[in-house]
A and B are shown apart, each in its own frame.
Chain A
Amino acid sequence: MTVTKAPTEPPAQQRTIRRPGDRIFAGAARGSGIFILLVLAGVAAFLISEAIPAFTASSEEIPGGEGLGDYVWPLIAGTLLGAVIALLVATPLAVGIALYVTYYAPRRIATALGYVIDLLAAIPSVVYGFWGLAVLAKQLVPFHEWLDDTLGFIPFFAGPASTTGRTMLTVGLVLAVMILPIISAIAREVFGQAPALHREAALALGATRWEMIRMAVLPYGKSGVIAGAMLGLGRALGETMAVAIILSGGAGATLNVISNSSPSTIASNIALRFPEATGLGVNTLIASGLVLFVITLAVNMLARWVVNRRADFSGAN
């Protein structure tokens, strides 16, 4: 073995060599980051400055004449109700679909099913709106009556059951179909990536397929499913056309999801009222938009917190 002699000349001042490729890429990445922040700040600034007149105006000047709180509150309730119904229905369904596609279905069926689900995402929301109004609403009328009869003691199903089916329940179900592809696509992706190492560990301990999924796939995919559900929730909260078409809308805040008097949602209310709004009416609508912005932001931060809470155990390390 030869021993290399220590360099005789004194070591030059330590200097990081930066290659042009690195510099360009770092610049581009930083630029993108700054750009998205600027856009966000711009939108927030616009919302806030346009909403301020509505916040400072007296109650009588706000449309409805009862003040901003009374105007926005039913809309918040409607927005949350519809989105929560959608999420409650779509998430378990999406997880089931994703598990079936990744671990149960024969490969050919799995691929075909994957395409069909992706196709759901390609349908414009106006089409969903008309489908909900023309087909689903009518089909769901008996279901509304059944809920009223059997579960009427729960405030959500207090009735009277709608005879047209144009209710928050129908809206929630349509929204569920709309967000299904988003959640299931992400769930499929993360479930498919559950490491073979841990799946085999479970199987070798004598786990059945379902137990293997519970031990090695679901815990691994949990944060992905939550992220997908939040993306879906974001879409459901902000959905405009489908809701505007289905709901007749307009009453006060209520938990009742099966009657005709469901309040509208923030987004669809803005879409319906904005063209004719003037003066303070515009500011009021923008204020409601600001509320939607804050709700969505809060939901996303909550999701992030849930995902990070047990980061040690996430399987990412």
Chain B
Amino acid sequence: MAKRIEVSDLNIYYGNFLAVEGVNVSIEPRSITALIGPSGCGKSTFLRSINRMHEVLPGARVEGKVVMDGQDLYGSDVDPVDVRRQIGMVFQRPNPFPTMSIYDNVIAGNRLNNKRMKRAETDELVERSLRGANLWNEVKDRLDRPGSGLSGGQQQRLCIARAIAVEPDVLLMDEPCSALDPISTLAIEDLMTELKERFTIVIVTHNMQQAARVSEQTGFFNLNGVGQPGRLIEFNPTEKIFSNPDEKATEDYISGRFG
């Protein structure tokens, strides 16, 4: 079940440092939203605040609202653990659990959610998730081997399989292809296009072509100077951002006239 996310007046802090200021955006279900912008402007920070991963760092906090299908994720009665079970995340560096087999990695999240599953059910789930992540054929003969024995691209797809195995409503991806070769990158982009039928996907990327290729909506983050908070400068359909953006800064960034 894909869900819509509405963010209003979001300020994100690391201790006293305001890293991201005043984000207002609405993320559509069953679509891919790309976030672009120069390094250090707060894309990762914003992404991590959507599934409440931001606050696991000491001193990190958030002001404002993130509403998913009518529910305020930062409401006082909301458990961040539940939020993270609904909103999955794929990190920039592949991080399969090294102490678990490939098989156990895929169902790690399901083991958390409901304790008991029949062996046949988990077998089926593992195959479905690995197929979903385009990894099944490469690993089906060594499911009991450690996940850390795979190549970087395979590890990243394993992490995607792990994230989609729990059937989240939303999938957040922070530069998922930055450590991958062009072929693995294309594989993951194809995968995203398939996955958006079922999930809401938000992806951070430094690769303009990638944003242009896969996303429906694009948000451009920027910051005015060192020590200044990052802001969401422009949020528009991807076609418009890449052909005729509203903001001068967006155009400069996209055409490479900007750091």
Contacts and interface: CB of A to CB of B under 8 A. Distances in A.
B146 A201 contact: no
Contact of B98 (A200, A202, A208, A314): A314
Given A312-B149, A313-B146, A317-B148, A206 B99 contact: no
A206 B53 contact: no
A206 B85 contact: yes
Contact of B99 (A197, A204, A315): A315
B81 A200 contact: no
A227 B82 CA distance: 37
A203 to B, nearest CB: 6
What are the 10 A-B residue pairs with the smallest beta carbon separation, nearest first? A206-B85, A219-B99, A315-B98, A205-B109, A204-B89, A206-B84, A201-B95, A197-B95, A313-B99, A313-B146
Interface of A: 197-198, 200-208, 211, 215-216, 219-220, 312-317
A313 B88 CA distance: 25
A218 to B, nearest CB: 9
Q: Is the interface of A mostly helix, strand, loop or mixed?
A: helix
Contacts of B215: none
Given A203-B53, A313-B146, A215 B108 contact: yes
Nearest to A310: B99
Interface in B65-100: 81-82, 84-85, 88-89, 91, 93, 95-100
A219 B81 contact: no
A208 B81 contact: yes
B97 A215 contact: yes
B228 interface: no
Contact of B93 (A197, A204, A207, A220): A197
A207 B149 contact: no
A212 B91 CA distance: 17
Contact of A198 (B53, B82, B98): B98
B56 A219 contact: no
10 contacts: A197-B95, A198-B95, A201-B97, A203-B56, A204-B53, A204-B84, A204-B88, A205-B88, A205-B166, A219-B97
Interface in B94-135: 95-101, 108-109, 112-113
B51 interface: yes
Nearest to B162: A205
A66 B211 CA distance: 86
Given A198-B97, A198-B98, A312 B113 contact: no
Contacts of B81: 206-208
Contacts of A203: 53, 56, 84
B53 A205 contact: no
A204 B81 CA distance: 8
Nearest to A203: B56
Contacts of B91: 197, 200-201, 204
Interface residues of B, number: 30
A313 B100 CA distance: 7
A205 B112 contact: yes
Contacts of A202: 97, 108
B177 to A, nearest CB: 17
Contacts of A313: 98-101, 146
B163 to A, nearest CB: 8
Contacts of B162: 205
Contact of B82 (A206, A312, A314): A206
Contacts of A314: 98-99
Given A312-B145, A312-B149, 19 more contacts: A198-B97, A200-B53, A201-B96, A201-B159, A203-B53, A203-B56, A204-B53, A204-B88, A205-B109, A206-B82, A206-B166, A208-B81, A215-B108, A216-B97, A313-B146, A314-B98, A317-B146, A317-B148, A317-B149
Contacts of A206: 81-82, 84-85, 109, 112-113, 166
Contacts of B166: 205-206
Interface string B9-53: 000000000000000000000000000000000000000000101
A205 B95 contact: no
Among A198, A201, A219, A313, the most chain B Cβ lie within 10 Å of the Cβ of A201
Contacts of A219: 97, 99-100
A220 B97 CA distance: 9
A206 B170 CA distance: 13
Among A200, A204, A207, the most chain B Cβ lie within 10 Å of the Cβ of A204
Given A197-B91, A312-B146, A205 B84 contact: yes
A314 B81 CA distance: 27
A204 B89 CA distance: 6
Contacts of A317: 98, 146, 148-149
Nearest to B94: A197
Nearest to A197: B95
A240 to B, nearest CB: 39
A215 B162 CA distance: 14
